[in-house]
Amino acid sequence: MPKSEKTRIFITGGTGYIGGSVLSALLNHPRANSFQITALTRSPEKVVPLNSVGVVAVVGSNKDVKKLTEHASDSDVVFACADADDLSAAKAILLGLKKRYDKTDKVPILIHTSGTGVLADDVAGNYATDKIYSDLDIPMIESLPKTQPHREVDIEVVAAGQKGYVRTYIILPSTIYGIANTSLVRLGVQNPYSQQIPGLIKASIDRKQGGVVGKGLNLWPNVHIEDVASLYATIFDAAMKGPGEAGHGREGFYFGANGEHRVGRISEIVAELLYEMKLGRSPEPTVFTEEELIKYFGGAYLGSNSRVRAERAKLIGWTPVHTVDSLWASLKPETEAIVEMLNA
């Protein structure tokens, strides 16, 4: 690419928890002046503030498949940070990137967001599994059935990468925690909250008692939102250097994790916090009923196991700094923030 040309970047989910953190990292990147960034947003009121920091904002969502194809076809790099299970959106983006390749004869880059939920089992919190997946063990990942969460889209993305018209990198964050504190949060355009832990806190507040799925013995990996942003930046930098710098296509799976926790321990701490705040009847969590699991979470997802070794990104320089201790430390401010938000 000639020095005068800017790298054209398109991002979906750019005002969400993950995508906003990725977009902020791009805006703060050492080469930010060489980027031309377009972000998709569902909110017309976010256009002007995004424009104010040099982002071209397009009003739309993953449902606007023609827009996805159009903007992907005009991009050197696409960050897909919206819905990890939206197959039609993924196909629309891939179609656009195929058009880009056909038009320019240059291979564009797709950095797609999946999640370690693809590994989830259905133990309903009752025991921990011994099965641990490494992102360097591709046959093990490929053994996952198409019926697993996110898997159908991941397969589509990898297949496109195998065809050679796009270089694909799939990032699979685990339980992301921490309240995002980025330039876009301060600008009022980014959602600063994750889904899993805040969802548990909100459900516990609503039922007036901390809750746990089954025995709470299941295990999940975790990663701080700041380390997630640096993970995307590390993979983006490697991808921009060329195809030989980092695994892509079939070998383009990158787990985002830097710790592991027993999910029931989060329930126990949240129950204690809510009891202290006089928002729970007991400091000991009670078991969510089947009806509550459907009502609050759409099923027993929080009772699953998902165990990983995140090795691939560390080989190319990802250096996460937050350990599981940061997760435990995050629960009080997270709970307090959600209580305040619900009372606002």
Buried b (16+ CB within 10 A) or exposed e, 111-124: bbbbbbbbbbeebb
Per-residue pLDDT tens for 230-244?
999 999 999 999 999
Whether pLDDT at 4 is above 80: no
Tell me the pTM.
0.97
**Mapped to the 3 state alphabet, what secondary structure does 301-342 carry?**
HHHCCCCEECCHHHHCCCCCCCCHHHHHHHHHHHHHHHHHHH
Per-residue pLDDT tens for 7-51?
999 999 999 999 999 999 999 999 999 999 999 999 999 999 999
Whether pLDDT at 3 is above 70: no
Could you give the C-alpha distances from 169 to 15, 176, 234, 275, in angstroms and in order? Answer: 21, 19, 12, 43
Output the average pLDDT for the chain: 97
Per-residue pLDDT tens for 205-216?
999 999 999 999
Confidence of residue 300 (pLDDT cuts 50, 70, 90): confident
Instruction: With respect to residue 200, please indicate whether it lies within any of the assigned structural domains.
Output: no
Instruction: With respect to residue 164, please indicate whether it lies within any of the assigned structural domains.
Output: yes
Rounded mean pLDDT, 152-165: 98
* Residue 57: alpha-carbon gap to chain centroid: 21
Instruction: With respect to residue 111, please indicate whether it lies within any of the assigned structural domains.
Output: yes
Instruction: With respect to residue 326, please indicate whether it lies within any of the assigned structural domains.
Output: no
Q: How many Cβ atoms are within 10 Å of 289's Cβ, its own excluded?
A: 11
Whether pLDDT at 128 is above 70: yes
pLDDT > 70: percent of the chain: 99
- Rounded Cα–Cα distance for residues 39 and 14 (Å): 6
Instruction: With respect to residue 66, please indicate whether it lies within any of the assigned structural domains.
Output: yes
Q: Which domain covers residue 18, as residue numbers?
A: 7-122+132-193+222-258+306-320
Instruction: With respect to residue 270, please indicate whether it lies within any of the assigned structural domains.
Output: no
Rounded mean pLDDT, 266-279: 98
**Number of folded domains that form the chain:** 1
Instruction: With respect to residue 52, please indicate whether it lies within any of the assigned structural domains.
Output: yes
Rounded mean pLDDT, 63-69: 97
Residue located via tokens 């876009």: 184
Instruction: With respect to residue 114, please indicate whether it lies within any of the assigned structural domains.
Output: yes
Rounded mean pLDDT, 314-323: 98
Instruction: Please tell me the least confidently modeled range out of 28-37, 295-304, 322-331.
Output: 295-304
Per-residue pLDDT tens for 184-201?
999 999 999 999 999 999
Strands 219-224 vs 260-262: parallel, antiparallel or unpaired: antiparallel
Which residue type is seen at 235?
I
Rounded mean pLDDT, 61-65: 96
Residues whose CB is less than 8 angstroms from the CB of residue 222 and which lie 6 or more positions away in sequence, other chains included: 174, 175, 176, 177, 257, 258, 259, 260, 261, 324, 327
Per-residue pLDDT tens for 253-263?
999 999 999 99
Q: What is the CATH number of the domain that holds 61?
A: 3.40.50.720
Rounded mean pLDDT, 47-60: 98
Predicted pLDDT of residue 1:
47
- Residue predicted with more confidence, 86 or 300: 86
